[in-house]
Chains A and B, each alone.
Chain A
Amino acid sequence: MRRRHSGPLAREVGLWVLALIWSIPFFFLIVVSVKPTAELFSSALQLPSRIDLGSYAGAWQSGHLGSALVSSLVITGGSVLGIVALSSVAAYTLARREGRIAVIMGLLFLIGIVLPSQLGLIPIYSLFKKLHLLGTYTGLILLNVSTWLPLAVFLYTGFLRQLSHEYEEAAQIDGASVWYTFLHVVFPLLRPVTGTVAILSGILIWNDFFNPLVFLSGTGKTPLPVAVYSFVGNYATQWNYVFAAVAIALVPALLFFIFAQRQLIQGFSGGVKG
């Protein structure tokens, strides 16, 4: 397509050198995780004499990573669904309406992006206690949705503002209701930004450590980061076990990203190009 750029081999090689440097932490993550325990205290640069997957089995079992994986999936899946459902309709309303109320709502979400959540932590904690939401998936999912809604609304609104109204008008001239139009015409057009919102909030929630620590501790529903953290606490110097646990927790997120990376970039660009 771009002929003028064909063959910048030197640049590609240069970038690969940088990429290799960037991958050094991953290299050690893998290498150390398969090191036999007996070789842990040899030089850090020493490659393992054989590949020992015992640390993976050990971390999986004694770290309860299986049930943590299920928890992570439930929490992340539920939260992302909630965020996409609530933010897309809210952003559509905001983007298609004008006037003072729309401006105030826009500000509410905009400031909501930057408000740190620490201030509200204790009031929410005691409210959840009263409502018996403490230690439940529902409680944490509600909290996650409220935390990431503002950013999602912001991304959706930006995209919607640039989206042509023609499709909606055509649907409505054909007699479609507002709800039908949104569900069958607008929402499918939002696919790129829905992808961005889902991936971005999915990654952030998947990796969230602090909120599950506070709201799910000691329930057996703790997700991967908390499980890995408590596992590491017990095996502080057993780097092969620590790294095996870290690698297990990393795989789903990495797979998800590899499949979704083009979507992510498209959605950020905030516009459908015809």
Chain B
Amino acid sequence: MTSQNSRNVLGVVRPSGERKRPNPPRHVPPWAWAVPAVLLVFLARYVAAVAGGWYAFTDWNGLTPTANFTGLANFRQIFTDEGARGALLNTVKFAACFVVLTNLVGLFLAVALNQHLKTRYLLRTVFFAPVVMSQLATAFIWRFLFDYSGPVNGVLGALGLESLKKTWLANPTWSFWAVVVVLVWQFSGLAMVILLAGLQGIPQEVEEAAEIDGASSWQRLVRVTLPLLAPALAISIQLSVISGLAIFDTVMALTNGGPLGATETLATQVYKQTFVFGRYGYGTALALLLTILIVAAALIQQLTTRATERRNA
């Protein structure tokens, strides 16, 4: 032990921010233990993605035995086609609304339900329940709620607001927000649970010390709790960015991308172009674009998180 510690004295500097760890045990697990997982992920995720991604540069229609190499033609078409550009814009808009709103609502719920309320477990269950539902089932329920003769319009009518009644899911402006409402309803509970986990990792003494020093509850939240919650917030945001960009089931079952492409996303377009219209090469090009978008967003987020951690260290 002592001989290993002395290495630090000899100038092995740990990067700042990294937790000081005890010395590794003498027997470490063999690499072979990681082989099944690595192999499976490598083959099913990476090799398959490369094998499939190649078609993005071809005109393959899924039926002919051969595919002609067409270079970047599919990508040129994506950026000139208004429908595809709309889907790209919608994808980014959906993801932005999804990330901001689910995390804000989730943060509010987590902070509120981290207190010792008598019914906090029951309340958590209520807010988390939508997360365990399939997006498909959720969409069916909300299709009923948003139906022209459904409860949403029913309540508006009962309040005397007949003029506000709409065919929510068939309205070019409102269908987008209807989808956002459904997504926020379904997934805020997940952000709540991740942030609750983070809150429970914050020692109570820290907050109590701030309280004794006379900090208001708002000051405690912004100055003490939020900075300590950063790692959990990073995980929650990361997950919501990834799933926000890849929204599929909800849109397909709620609006099928309509009306007039108002809720069309890259993911729904990938599915339609590939499996409905049989434009395999073009669909794959869209999938590749979506992949690049998601990986780039995730990387940017990783880098900013690391930079913030370094600054705070």
Q: Which A residues have a C-beta under 8 Å from some C-beta of B? A: 1-2, 4-6, 8, 11-12, 15-16, 19, 22-26, 28-29, 32, 41, 43-45, 86-87, 89-90, 92-94, 96-98, 101, 105, 108-109, 111-124, 127, 142-143, 145-147, 149-150, 153, 161-162, 164-166, 168-169, 172, 177-178, 181-182, 203, 206-210, 224-225, 228-229, 232, 239, 242-243, 246, 249-250, 253-254, 256-258, 261-262, 264-271, 273
Contact = CB atoms under 8 A, between A and B. Distances in A.
B31 A32 contact: no
Given A146-B40, A268-B193, A269-B200, A16 B136 contact: no
B117 A119 contact: no
A146 B45 CA distance: 7
A15 B144 contact: no
A12 B117 contact: yes
A146 B29 contact: no
Contacts of A4: 211
A142 B207 CA distance: 46
B49 A90 contact: no
8 contacts: A25-B145, A116-B291, A178-B29, A224-B134, A254-B132, A265-B193, A267-B197, A270-B197
A28 to B, nearest CB: 6
Nearest to B294: A114
A96 B113 CA distance: 36
A44 B145 CA distance: 9
B40 A142 contact: yes
Nearest to A199: B132
B141 A19 contact: no
Contact of A203 (B19, B132, B149, B185): B132
A203 B193 contact: no
A146 B46 CA distance: 11
Contact of A115 (B55, B126, B185, B291): B291
Given A119-B288, A172-B27, A225-B137, 15 more contacts: A11-B115, A12-B117, A15-B123, A25-B130, A44-B150, A97-B29, A116-B290, A123-B51, A169-B26, A177-B27, A178-B28, A178-B30, A207-B135, A208-B134, A250-B137
Interface in B17-67: 19, 21-31, 33-34, 36-38, 40-49, 51-53, 55, 62
Contacts of A15: 112-113, 117, 123
Interface residues of B, number: 98
A45 B123 contact: no
Contacts of B41: 108-109, 112, 146, 149-150
B9 interface: no
Contacts of A261: 121, 124-125, 128, 193
A22 B137 contact: no
Contact of A150 (B26, B45, B115, B274): B45
Nearest to B36: A86
A165 B23 contact: yes
Contact of B134 (A26, A225, A270): A225
Contacts of B42: 108
Interface string B157-198: 010000000000000000000000000010000000110111
A217 B44 CA distance: 21
Contact of A250 (B133, B142, B154, B270): B133
Interface stretch (B80-88, B241-249, B304-312): B241-249
A118 B185 contact: no
A92 B29 contact: yes
B287 interface: yes
Contact of B284 (A98, A101, A119, A124): A119
Contacts of A208: 134
B4 interface: no
Contacts of A90: 33-34, 36-38
Contacts of A269: 197-198, 200-201, 232
A28 B151 contact: yes
B132 to A, nearest CB: 4
A232 B140 contact: yes
Nearest to B32: A93
B92 to A, nearest CB: 15
Nearest to B60: A122
Contacts of A41: 149
B72 interface: no
Contacts of B200: 265-266, 269
